[in-house]
Amino acid sequence: MTKTDQKLLLGLLIIGLLALAGHRFYFQSQTQSNQVIIKAKGEVVQTLTLRAGEPLQRLTIEGKKGQAIVETKGLKVRMLEAPCPDQICVQQGWIDSPRQTIICVPNEIVIYIDAEASLDGITG
């Protein structure tokens, strides 16, 4: 490695770490209710309002490659089963904070928690 290589490595590492630090602040928070949006092939197919303590719930979503199973429990949501070869979406596990996202590229399914609609409380 040349000196310039090393500088590049350092630069990339620093940028990456800064992005990571920002990420921790931006994508980790807690809510009273989570608005989960599920898109398949570019269309919204499900919106769910999750509240703390809600029981386990499973949904079948039709993706490009076939049926995927999405599981929710309390405020969390995950891809339980997917027909894609890489299984990245399944390995990613639960998401529970606004803005967190699960993307299954081969099956063209996107699950994310909408930050605007997730409420901390309701007055009335």
Partner 1 sequence: MSKTRKLVYFSLFVTLATALGFLETLLSNPLPLPGVKLGLANIVTLLVLYLYGLKEGLVVSLFRVLFVSLLGGTFLAVGFWLSFSGAVLSTLVMAGLIKYVSALSIIGVSMAGAVSHNVGQLLAASFLIQTPYIFYYLPFLLLAGIPTGLVTGYLARLLLRYFQGKDFLIINEK
Partner 2 sequence: MKKNYFIVLIVVLVLVGGVIFFGQKKEQKLTSEEFLMDTFVSISTYGTDTDFLQQATKKAFQEMRRIAELTDRFSLSGTTAAKLSDVVRINENAGIKPVVIDEDVFEMLQAAQEYSQLTEGAFDVTIGPLLDLWGFGREKQKKPTVNELQRVLTLVDSEKLVLDQEKQCAFLSEQGMSLDLGAVAKGYAVERAAKVLAEEGVERALINAGGNIKVIGEKAKRQPWKIGIQDPRDSSALIGVLSLEDEAIATSGDYNRTIEIAGKRYHHLLSPQTGYPVGYNMSVTVVTHDAGQADLLSTALFLLEPQQALDLVAKLNDTEVVIITADKKILVSPGLQGKIELQARKEYSYDQN
List interacting residues with partner 2 (CB under 8 A): 6, 9-10, 13-14, 16-17, 20-21, 24-25, 28-32, 52, 116-124
Please give the Cα distance from 49 to 21 (Å, whole number): 29
Residue 5 binds to partner 1 (criterion: CB under 8 A): yes
Q: Do residues 74 and 84 touch, judged by C-beta distance below 8 A?
A: no
Phi, then psi, of 56 in degrees rounded to 5: -60, 140
Between 64 and 99, CB nearer to partner 2 = 99
**Range 27-86, binding partner 1 (CB under 8 A):** 27, 39, 42, 64, 85-86
Query: Cβ 58 to partner 2, closest distance in Å?
Result: 23
Helix (H, G, I), strand (E, B) or coil at 51: strand
Between 5 and 120, CB nearer to partner 1 = 5
Cα 8 → chain centroid: 31
Between 4 and 53, CB nearer to partner 1 = 4
For residue 57, the partner it binds in partner 2, partner 1, none, with Cβ less than 5 to 8 A by kind, is none
Select from 80, 90, 84, 91 the least CA-distant residue to 105. Answer: 84
Query: Cβ 121 to partner 2, closest distance in Å?
Result: 5
Residue 112 binds to partner 1 (criterion: CB under 8 A): yes
Please give the Cα distance from 117 to 28 (Å, whole number): 16
